[in-house]
């Protein structure tokens, strides 16, 4: 049986590098949170960083796979939520102040609130949630995630997914989260 998320191959094998990256990011974030627990105010229900509007195809496939595994009532609620979502700043996966697919949330969502080293034309800068790390005059390097390196790794696993699953086609570069409702084989309720 062909899986529409990976018509050209084995979905689980195609997602393996993404899952490995996700696990590495989770370990890195857990280390930062444990080491700097007194500096982090993020908590369940805090959604001010939840502004994501689109993801790479590999992340859309991971989200669609997670959607498939939701109980029927939750899947139907998410379908309505995505259909009703208007273009805007708030992430369409938010149900109230919680992510509908939290366990499968995209890579960038896993780093929310933590200091990110961002490369810009004018140089490097660190961005973070203004609620976190307020008691430090400077941020230690061990607390900072290099966003360009993380994005490069994510692009590489996305290329692997695309080459494995869509060897003769090029799906969109980014999938708007609102369009997960039409993404191949999202929960068909």
Structure confidence at residue 2 (pLDDT):
54
- Do 185 and 3 contact (CB within 8 A), yes or no? yes
128, pLDDT greater than 70: yes
Residue 1's pLDDT band, with cuts at 50, 70 and 90, is: very low
Q: What is the pLDDT of residues 129-153, one digit of tens each?
A: 888 888 788 888 888 999 999 999 9
CA dihedral 121, 142, 157, 82 (to 10 degrees): -80
Distance CA 12, CA 58 (A): 11
Mean pLDDT value across the chain: 88
Both structure tokens of 135: 């008691």
Return the H-helix or E-strand segment holding 15. Answer: helix 11-35
Contacts of 74 (CB under 8 A, 6+ apart): 100
Domain segments of the chain: what residues?
Answer: 11-182
């Amino acid at each position: 049986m062909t899986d529409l998320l990976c018509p050209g191959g084995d979905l689980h094998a195609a997602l393996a590098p993404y899952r490995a990256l996700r696990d590495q990011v989770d370990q890195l974030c857990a280390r930062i949170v444990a080491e700097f627990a007194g500096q982090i105010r993020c908590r369940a229900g805090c959604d001010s960083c939840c502004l994501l509007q689109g993801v790479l195809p590999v992340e859309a496939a991971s989200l669609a796979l997670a959607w498939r595994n939701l109980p029927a009532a939750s899947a139907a609620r998410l379908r309505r939520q995505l259909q009703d979502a208007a273009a805007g700043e708030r992430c369409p996966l938010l149900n109230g102040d919680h992510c509908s697919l939290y366990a499968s949330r995209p890579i960038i969502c896993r780093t929310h609130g933590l200091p990110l080293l961002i490369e810009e034309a004018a140089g490097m800068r660190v961005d973070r949630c203004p609620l976190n790390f307020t008691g430090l005059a400077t941020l230690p390097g061990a607390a900072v995630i290099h966003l360009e390196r993380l994005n490069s790794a994510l692009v590489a696993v996305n290329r692997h997914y695309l080459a494995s699953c869509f060897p003769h086609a090029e799906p969109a570069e980014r999938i708007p989260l609102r369009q997960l409702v039409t993404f191949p084989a999202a929960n068909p309720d």
